[in-house]
Structure 1
């Protein structure tokens, strides 16, 4: 969010289920309000294989303090390195773990799949529920089989829970499950065979209800005999579970030769078994080496390299780029949990620690403590520390033509909230709302890389990126880019332009796009140095070397002065390719590019001394661009309403609670004089709307409140107080009002006016005349 106050409204849906019996109380569409504000999954563009071998993928398994710990009223761990992550698992020790709505939207915004967890632990309760998983829900009436059971009849297999779990994933907006059976199965091989068959049913249900991207990942736990025996790799004892699911997440206590043994075992499998032959029809999709995720525990519990900053040692053996194996990182919030109780700990110190693990230090080296070698483990030598992201290719978010790209560089937590440069909220303890998390600029960490726009040989200026939590355009923060320029005697130094790459993007050739950036100079330059800022595009170094050449045609650019020193640059551009086979609707290729800020520095003579300045980047947006005739509509909030709780007075000690709701709309200019004179005129009477998605879409809504002065009068809307934003709880057009969170004391029977202000997915704040209000007697 955040929201004002200090009390979080109760959830509108169950956060998790403690047992399968409890899950049976849930019915699709009948329990509570729907999570209709979640962003749907849209895939990233696929990277071509290099030398016939695709790079291994990264799965991140988020096991953090038992789950569901994020608070609207304090700062908490958030994950921000989505560009190297393919799948994210929200993990807890409840029977059925459902990812919170904010995490789902944050993952999907980056093109990352997010899974819940189905877990069975403990000898008795876990085993009983795992048996129930297979045989299904039990009836309440007296029932039985007509015929007598024979010795040939094995454990019956019911699809009941496969259907229910797939329906749950569909309704709650996530993409599948991690399956973790960490309890022995008393039924032995008979039960494990039925369990493996049940997984195939679940997977089919997930594909049907969630989509072709749905996943069911099996955690290396019980084996074919029903014993709980972690194998730490793929082998014959867990092969049936791998073949029945999307992939295998191995346990993390493997020896350093196990990744190579896993690769060797996989390549020895009969190709028809893994669906890699023309006649094989046993697999929906052929199994690949990338479907094996070798576990790495960041806490270091038996993990090669000792976890923490030694994780790179395990990743070196997994070798995603050469062996093609994938990695599953478990407990990555170690950076927060292991440090938070130390003296002097702050969020900024955590971010330094976190980013060091993922992208490396800003300067210097990282000391890695030695880790003991396991018994029987071959000796191995490792070089200096390597960050996690160095093992995996960086993937841009989905094409902005499919999901409009918007970022305020928010890490999902902050101290303040801003609306068009105005600070409307400040919290001493801070807030966490993963729903508001956006890309932090995937080309800016651990520090930005600057480039000259020509071939000069001057020393390139250096830059440093930091979060600015006390000044922003919209949202919780901006990004401060501090640039240090060395002195130069070169005659050309009086006029020089540097490129600052901010964000990688995946764009479609021949596509028309619109991009904008909101920025302001934070520290002024010397008087004799003048600057101009521009927004531009450059080919990304991430593109494949044999990609066809592509060029950018800038069709328009405008600069607008905003309030409080902020400025906005808008550009329209087209990406063109010289490929001999231009893209068609049936075959659309995408190319990776870098969105950069160009900084022109001009002085009357070369700079004789070094100088520095900084830039605040507040917002970045990219979307498909349509001709003006197709974008004549104006977004608006049509109406607002308030529904009190049925037991609100009792629950709030005499002060009613309730829910705000609203509807959005679009309006058009007046129809001009129609020029259609006859039925045969080949003209449209007005500018039509495109058949692609065009209706206004919103990121979230700012909510304001204002008490009436007396029974009839109220002040100007500019005097209203911001009380929160929508979206954190999965509601699309809803906001729960708790009177105790209001920043003022409403007099009995005195009305309060609530305002709903939309923020579109172009990053635009609706003007007040396009917003709605509702009056409520408090």
Structure 2
């Protein structure tokens, strides 16, 4: 949860360079949007932030299955800011998507820092937007290619040649500035939207500029850099044409110059097939196993690289737009958005789902909502994950949406209840079309952490199993959004392990996000199974899909859990691990499984390349408020941990609450954070180098929670220094008697430590 003054011009966060003048401590919230390219000339950009390299390294030329891009167009952009007073729209499904585009109608849109943090937490790409709309934007398109008219000596710009006047030379100045912005703010690229008719010569020059932006970004940042071209202006004649399909003359050259293409959502059912046929017709056989793609004549040598890309990989970088509002899109969007999505992925193409905030914004749905946020969440979950169980109550708004689609598509009669694509039984959750996987095209992570928190809360904020904000209070902060359990999508099957075999045992296990109990963040996860495990073996369910490297270095697995009802008894939770070997030199070993009951009573289940992993030091520690901590040490031999699950011994059911999960190198949990306090200016400052660490500032003794800090809300110097002026912060809350301000850190293992304590006298004076 952010500090309550983050959206205030007089923000409490200050510059980290504490000097003699208080003015030097003023923190100003960075501008994230620009309405003119000329604004980019005036600002200072520090392109030294290397955190962009540490989050995501996806090779977009080697992905083999359809991907999902989210076009976040919510109320025009920048209307989903953090709040300590209300519960607003959040996007909770980053784990299953490939790219997230933060969209607005400003010329340059930089994603807000809390949304960048959420994307990075889930190992997903996030892009900004460069947009030119209407004919009045044409002079700025020309400025983009020409460069600043009178650049000062410190404005570095280079040019490359285009043999056609008037663009004999094309400036790279603004392309370089866009790359600088992405590096400074730690996001992975840009959506390019040129919706204005231009001359043919300008269109051809624009293609060169787009390719430079892609190539230079890849050179400076790496494979994670992404330039997504929106299907708009034609390369052939410069006219504005939304083709809604891949066209050899109008948009294929721009696709060749960029990383991917976002096709407009006004398409018909034959368009995906036609796009595949076009790509297939461009194949140039090379030998019996590979082929290249003859995209077009190439002005730069990078086209030769794309020509070597296999057809399947080029298909998955073509994103067909699906508008959730249903504007011109097959099947009308809304809760039927899954249907158009399925048509696209059946052809091996990818999907750009535009404006998923429809569930929050649509005026058609509001009249039937009786419980505010809870009603919205039920519908949002239905859209993405389906009903918690098949027996759950059918949502009234699914039929309301079916009637909307019937009216908007000109149907003469309303549909019969239960017969539309928006309703059960036809409805399919979107995430069922994009199931989680241990993606081999992404670099394995060195750790995994989640507390299963939503990006908003309605029952205060939980920290180490305690409410630190107050019962019933609401907040919104996308930086607090963490990966959700896989089995939220339709539940998960309980599996019995009979060495060395596995078998499905019983109906799906119920999984619910709850807020009346929590460990960290908005709440926790309730796992319930109706059937006891009466067999003489362990049972387990998969919880999260991972991609964590295992080596000879010790990794610690740490799970926080408690029984849903202590009076009913519960089995001790163990772990289940799915292991994939990275050894490609030898024959792939057969998949094995094994389980054992540790002396602690905790069952340990291993699946896959079990000979490549070793488990030791299994412990279960009882904590306060019914919580338990299960830990073990893991070492591996050139392998990847692909899935994590929980297990129970014979005679028990799953009736547990999960608070958090972490798998991380044992050495990383020993990192320290240094803090200092400047008494003159009442500045509490600290330095830490792990961008995944969360910082909490709390009042001690009167239970007032002041907020959290991630990279989302701080002014960061090159040394990753952070600072907050406590006197400003304390003005927001009345303090009775003496108290303390406590600075706490939560590292990537989920452990909480006290970094600094500042005493406050009854007169309001602060002392370390």
Normalising by the residue count of structure 1, what TM-score does the alignment of the two structures yield? 0.76
Which has more radius of gyration?
1
> Does residue 223 of structure 1 match 2:234?
yes
What are the within-5 Å matches in structure 2 for residues 4-83 of structure 1? 8=8, 10=11, 12-29=29-46, 40-43=54-57, 54-69=64-79, 70-73=81-84, 74-83=86-95
The more displaced of 9-18 and 429-438 is 9-18
1:677 aligned residue: none
Asked if 1:3 corresponds to 2:44, the answer is no
Is residue 475 from structure 1 mapped to residue 521 from structure 2 by the alignment?
A: yes
Aligned-pair CA distance for 1:553: 2.9
Structure-to-structure mapping, 1:600-679, within 5 angstroms:
600=649, 602=651, 614-625=655-666, 633=670, 635-641=672-678, 660-664=684-688
Q: Give the match for residue 647 of structure 1.
A: none
1:559 is aligned to 2:599:
no
Q: Tell me which residue corresponds to 2:734.
A: 745
Quote the residue 1:148 is aligned against.
none
- Distance in 2, matches of 1:617 and 1:400, equals 27
Q: Distance in 2 between matches of 1:114 and 1:385?
A: 29
SS of the equivalent of 1:194 reads: helix
Displacement of 1:570 in angstroms is 0.2
CA drift of 1:44 comes to: 6.3
1:441 aligned residue: 485
The answer for unaligned runs of 5 or more in structure 1 is 143-150, 376-380, 487-491, 577-582, 584-588, 604-611, 645-657, 665-694, 706-716
Q: 1:543-554 maps to which residues of 2 (within 5 A)? A: 549=591, 550-551=609-610, 552-554=613-615
Of residues 398, 401, 412 in structure 1, which corresponds to 2:455?
A: 412
Structure 2 SS opposite 1:618: strand
Distance 2:756 2:538 in 1: 42
What's 2:273 paired with?
A: 260
**Change beyond 3 A, Cα 1:193–1:400:** closer
Q: 1:640 touches 1:756 (CA, 8 Å); kept in 2?
A: no
Q: Which residue of 1 aligns with 2:436?
A: 394
Cross-structure match for 2:708: 725
State the SS of the aligned residue for 1:166.
helix
The 8 Å contact of residues 493 and 505 in structure 2, kept in 1 or not, is answered as no
Query: Following the alignment from structure 2 to structure 1, what is the Cα–Cα distance between the partners of residues 469 and 261?
Result: 46
Structure 1 CA distance, aligned partners of 2:43 and 2:61?
40
The question of whether the paired residues in 1 share the 8 Å contact of 2:107 and 2:132 is answered with yes
Q: What is the aligned counterpart of 2:750 among 756, 763, 772?
A: 763
Q: 1:743 to 1:283 in 2, by over 3 A?
A: same
Give the gaps of 5 or more residues in structure 2: 12-27, 154-162, 284-291, 412-419, 592-608
State how far apart, in whole Å, the 2-side matches of 1:39 and 1:417 are.
31
Q: Which position in structure 2 is the counterpart of 1:301?
A: 327
Which deviations, in whole Å up to 9, do the C-alpha atoms of 1:280-327 show, x marking residues without a partner? 7534545512221111111100001111122222123212xx532111
Listed one character per residue, the Cα deviations across residues 3-40 of structure 1 (whole Å, up to 9, x for unaligned) are 3579745453112111111122112139xxx9898894
1:208-248 Cα distance to aligned partner (Å, 9 max, x none)? 33322101111001112221110001102112211111111
Structure 2 distance, partners of 1:260, 1:642, is: 68
In the aligned structure 1, how far is the partner of 2:203 from the partner of 2:656? 59
> CA separation in 1, counterparts of 2:49 and 2:475?
22
1:347 and 2:373 matched: yes
Task: Give the conservation status (yes or no) of the 8 Å contact 2:389–2:491.
Answer: no
CA deviation profile, 1:393-430 (whole Å, cap 9, x unmatched): 42348999734211110111113112222211037551
User: Equivalents in 1 of 2:759, 2:59: separation in Å?
Assistant: 44
| 1:123 CA drift (Å) | 1.8
Correspondences of 1:132-281 after superposition (within 5 Å): 132-139=143-150, 153-155=165-167, 156-185=169-198, 188-224=199-235, 225-235=237-247, 236-269=249-282, 271=292, 273-274=294-295
TM-score of the pair, normalised by structure 2: 0.77
Which of 515, 530, 533 aligns to 1:484? It is 530
Are 1:282 and 2:278 an aligned pair? no
**CA distance change for structure 1 residues 752 and 123 in 2, over 3 Å: closer, same or farther?**
farther
Name 2:23's counterpart in structure 1.
none
Asked if the contact 1:516/1:620 (under 8 Å) is kept, the reply is yes
* Residue 516 of structure 1: aligned partner: 558
Aligned residue number for residue 671 of structure 1: none
Secondary structure at the residue paired with 1:622? strand
Q: 1:738 to 1:245 in 2, by over 3 A?
A: farther
Whole-angstrom distance in 1 between the partners of 2:660 and 2:144: 47
Judged with a 3 Å threshold, the aligned counterparts in structure 2 of structure 1 residues 329 and 633 are, in CA distance, closer, same or farther, namely closer
Alignment-derived partner of residue 686 in structure 1 = none
- SS of the equivalent of 2:360 reads helix
Contact 1:530–1:601 (8 Å) recurs in 2 = no
Distance 1:516 1:56 in 2: 33
3-state DSSP class of the match of 1:425?
coil
Q: Tell me how large the CA RMSD over aligned residues is.
A: 3.9
Is the aligned partner of 1:121 residue 2:133? yes
Q: CA deviation at 1:503?
A: 0.9
Are the equivalent residues in 2 in contact too, given 1:298–1:329 (CA < 8 A)? Answer: yes
Distance 2:192 2:62 in 1: 30
| SS at structure 1 position matched to 2:470 | strand
Is the 2:556–2:666 Cα contact (8 Å) retained in structure 1?
yes
Distance in 2 of aligned mates of 1:200 and 1:642 = 53
Q: Secondary structure at the match of 2:449?
A: strand
Does the 8 Å CA contact 2:49/2:185 hold for their aligned counterparts? Answer: yes
- 2:379 paired with 1:328: no
Asked if the contact 2:545/2:642 (under 8 Å) is kept, the reply is yes
Supply the distance in 2 between the matched residues of 1:230 and 1:64 (Cα, whole angstroms): 22
Residues 773 and 229 of structure 1: is their aligned pair in 2 closer, same or farther, counting only changes over 3 Å? Answer: same
Between the two proteins, the alignment pairs up a number of residues equal to: 661
Aligned mates of 2:356, 2:265 — CA distance in 1? 13
Q: Could you say which residue in structure 2 is the equivalent of 1:500? A: 541
Asked if the contact 1:305–1:312 (Cα under 8 Å) also holds between the matched residues in 2, the reply is no
Conserved 8 A contact 1:639-1:773 = no
Superposition pairs for residues 574-589 of structure 1, below 5 Å?
Answer: 574-575=635-636, 583=638
Structure 2: distance between partners of 1:385 and 1:63:
24
| SS of corresponding position for 2:573 | strand
* Secondary structure at 1:564 match in 2: helix
Q: Report what 1:317 is aligned to.
A: 343
